[in-house]
Chain A
């Protein structure tokens, strides 16, 4: 159907951006809209109020559970997610779940996948960890898992630091962010520039079947990526930005908004790649200066008080600008698109 002005009739009241929509067929709604979603991470866990990681983990695993028909096991690295979900003897997991050590989750997952294959069962393996367990402690195991192309989806929930041990910096802490181990020394505040590890690009460089980034602000996008990942075999990597109210100094209700600002400013690029090549990007809907993303976060407060640090803000903006250019994030989003793309701003990379 289309209007006399030639505009396709869509479900504008919720666009494609809300979790569900009473006007569309239940089968076309998001996994999270389903009354019978797996709720892989259930109530009663001890994550902080407004935890982005708890949200991200349920989004990812519920979709993976749907995609595998429940035939999957989860391997978890040490970190917030492991600590808040399984204080002995309780567990919040409603999936088969295994924890070994901080740095060995990719290796344990590789072994689990190999063992399950040896048993002749088609049970899939999803490994997950925080940014500390992924980009620092587990990077060697992860790289090996990629290099061997083991049949594992590895999911990194990136909150930019070691949060459950007291907000220490990690290799994924963004420049200029304050942590408890990046205290002001002399005239310099916050994390240094040029020290971070861009894990999605490291993964992409391994030319594995699938690499993607996502955030908890765009559920539809995240679910589509998990589905795509589970439709493929071999080593796959998904990097999900999960704001941390405690470590980032934000209000608990701001978690989704902050993740949205990370993508809308271009500071966190959302893309998808296969075999070493970026294939699609999540385009920016309403671009905002990176300052709008930084200002609500306590970990960047020193950039605004007592003096406004134009130099640092300028460098952070440059990072966002470089992302926008590298991934083509600013290309006009097809807000009202014709056949092909949806209204969700996805675009093919030329």
Chain B
């Protein structure tokens, strides 16, 4: 058996760990700023939307079994255009990694280490990322499975909020109007990104196509539920007037809890959250490194790994004040939604129209 393959269970944990990332802390706030207290409905709608993208990604990869997006693109669009799009996707995935670094840096700088220079915080994450992606997908995924139980800690900590919730905050449901709700679901899609890791990792899966789609779809579903739970909890914990002034509602919520042994629960939450961020970062960095490998025709992705890690870290240092971070966030999320969630559908349509399909693929 090829030592690079992963099982369908591992694929499930991979998608879960990639999806849970920086977004979880600020999601309730971003949703609230547009859809008000109906933000949670937007989130669930986004959860439905991404299922289409998931389906498209799966169908696309199913036409070209055991191939990553970087191998598929030239086959669909021709060699030259494919190379251009490979470059675009490589840059896209490295910019998602950069965005993760930026957001992680701003949260850590704000909540844990106030005086540590930013480049230290960023470089240590990049170094860990580099170390992890120098191994095979199988080992990376094993690691993801290993750290997944930590999510239970996050869940339990949030569950504690139910000692002090007010369901009335949610009402009236749907008063912002269905259009606003749908519009703001685009923001929710950003937080749910991570299923796009399937574009590369489906190539390593050794399970059947039917199993793969079940697994990715179910993972996205689980994360939608978890995010929905978090958003919902913050909305019934905070007064609608409070949420506007707390950019990281989850942390503010946890900060309010204190137990007899631990005073600041938010710090514990953040420590565990960093691991989730690291897994998403590692995953995207791996995908970007794969892109670099295809672009430069390298034998192994490990060769390009140090350059991509340093590149991401250096770029991530650039934005240093809050406004800049927000602009970066805005543009990168916009392109991400397009390239990760919408464009795979376009690619699938092109592939179907041009009847591009690899032999041996299931024709069902």
A-B interaction? no
